[in-house]
């Protein structure tokens, strides 16, 4: 089956720093989503980005489907950005199945 | 809209007990699915449904049953709980099939002793 790999597995930064999280996938996918899992366990949709670039405030994401990777950029990090960031790729014909990466645990220190 | 809701938030079961995890959505979404998240891992698909009366298996379906009698509800049943089913369970929904964004519920933390 498809492999989804995220890097780095852990990232510790000071408040105000910028970061780039990467998601590589091993096969063609229908779509890709980025999620933030906050310290309370809730999954929050960040981006739905099958290709191209999207921006939402301090966050932006780029997916290059032909090269099978996606990047999530976080600028001017805040402590509330802490948590685990997951990318999930959508596979399957007609049915929507998400395959998740292992996540990047981001810790922002004040 | 309440979005995707799940009950209970926490549950402790003894090995061999059965229970049903509830999931409901009020967004008139056709697609619903169940995932489990084990410590330090991403989510894995258990079962999914493309509409009322239609369900199918995901990546890790063993030990779980589902049914979809209405558009709004998609319960997950554990027939005989095992310690390996200790996990956090997430329900998700989306408007349609491939190409639509999925929305997740708050999760149910299940411990089987």
Which of the residues in chain A have pLDDT under 70? 93-95
Q: B61-83: per-residue pLDDT in tens?
A: 999 999 999 999 999 999 999 99
HSE of B74, CA atoms in CB hemisphere, 13 A: 32
Q: B14-40: per-residue pLDDT in tens?
A: 999 999 999 999 999 999 999 999 988
Pair of tokens at residue A42: 């809730």
Q: Across the interface, which of B31, B56, B99 has its CB nearest the CB of A31?
A: B99
Pair of tokens at residue A5: 């790999």
Q: Across the interface, which of B41, B45, B58 has its CB nearest the CB of A102?
A: B41
A vs B: CB pairs below 8 A: 74
d(CA B111, CA B81): 9
Question: Which chain A residues contact residue B106 at CB under 8 A?
Answer: 41-42
Please tell me the predicted confidence (pLDDT) of residue B2: 78
d(CA A62, CA A41): 25
**Per-residue pLDDT band at B97 (split at 50, 70, 90):** low
């Amino acid at each position: 089956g498809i492999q989804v790999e995220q890097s780095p597995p852990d990232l510790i930064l000071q408040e105000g720093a910028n970061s780039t999280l990467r998601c590589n996938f091993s096969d063609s996918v229908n779509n890709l989503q980025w999620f933030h899992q906050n310290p309370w366990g809730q999954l929050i949709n960040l981006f739905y980005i099958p290709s191209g670039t999207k921006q939402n405030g301090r966050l932006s994401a780029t997916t290059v489907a032909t090269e099978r990777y996606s990047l999530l950029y976080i600028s001017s990090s805040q402590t509330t950005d802490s948590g685990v960031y997951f990318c999930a790729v959508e596979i399957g014909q007609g049915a929507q199945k998400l395959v998740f990466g292992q996540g990047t645990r981001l810790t922002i220190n004040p | 809209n309440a979005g995707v809701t799940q009950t209970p938030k926490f549950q402790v079961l003894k090995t061999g007990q059965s229970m049903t995890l509830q999931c409901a959505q009020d967004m008139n979404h056709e697609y619903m699915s169940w995932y489990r998240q084990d410590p330090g891992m991403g989510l894995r698909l258990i079962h999914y449904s493309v509409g009322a009366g239609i369900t199918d298996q995901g990546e890790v379906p063993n030990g779980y049953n589902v049914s979809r009698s209405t558009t709004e509800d998609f319960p997950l049943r554990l027939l005989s709980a095992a310690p390996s089913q200790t996990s956090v369970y997430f329900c998700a929904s989306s408007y349609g099939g491939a190409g639509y964004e999925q929305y997740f519920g708050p999760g149910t933390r299940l411990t089987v002793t």
